Amino acid sequence: MPEPAEAVKFGGVDLSVKRMSGVAEVNDGVLVSTLVKSDDEIINSLRGSLVVAIDAPLSGVGKFRDVDRLMFKMGLKVMPANWRWMIKLGERALRIKGRLEELNIRVIETHPWSVLHWLNTDLTQLSSRLGVRKLVINGGKDAYDAAVCALVALAYAMGKVRRITASDGELYLISAD
């Protein structure tokens, strides 16, 4: 993908089933993250995005995926997609992914804790490294994680990601270089 223009929007979602979900967008060097409840609120918040990264399984829901095994081998602790609550999360993620794709938005899977652990960094340092000038986090950990997801979407468009892939899925981290 080419280098994104300044006014292009990128989104991130830290999806939940029972709690409010974190939703973030990066637009023109500003990253804003907040909490929302419904699928419609998530979709409306992300409308117009080029890429959205979601912290939830987007493939192999109900299985212990090979892509999860690869993450474990890298020392990155993801939640397997076969746990009961992860199945519900994955089902919701797939519904949201389908609706976003109907809007011509590219949707990718990520794992915010793994992104930060892999790079040994925090949100502030990572956002600065990717050219984000201002952070506005309205909410707790879920809004923070959604912000990391939005940075993964931005890095994807910039060609600065590490793709972890297996026969049953793929997950994106931000590359170290």
Q: What is the mean pLDDT of residues 162-175?
A: 95
Q: Is residue 145 part of a domain?
A: yes
Q: pLDDT, tens digit, for every residue of 8-26?
A: 899 999 999 989 999 999 9
Number of folded domains in the chain?
A: 1
Q: Is residue 43 part of a domain?
A: yes
Q: Is residue 102 part of a domain?
A: yes
Q: Is residue 99 part of a domain?
A: yes
CATH number at residue 145: 3.30.420
Q: Is residue 16 part of a domain?
A: yes
Tell whether the model's pLDDT for residue 73 goes beyond 80.
yes
Q: Is residue 35 part of a domain?
A: yes
Q: Is residue 21 part of a domain?
A: yes
Tell whether the model's pLDDT for residue 129 goes beyond 90.
yes
Q: Is residue 28 part of a domain?
A: yes
What is the predicted pLDDT for the residue at 7? 60
**pTM score, whole prediction:** 0.93
Show the tokens assigned to 86: 């992860």
Domain assignment of residue 128, given as a range: 9-174
CB atoms within 10 A of CB 55: 29
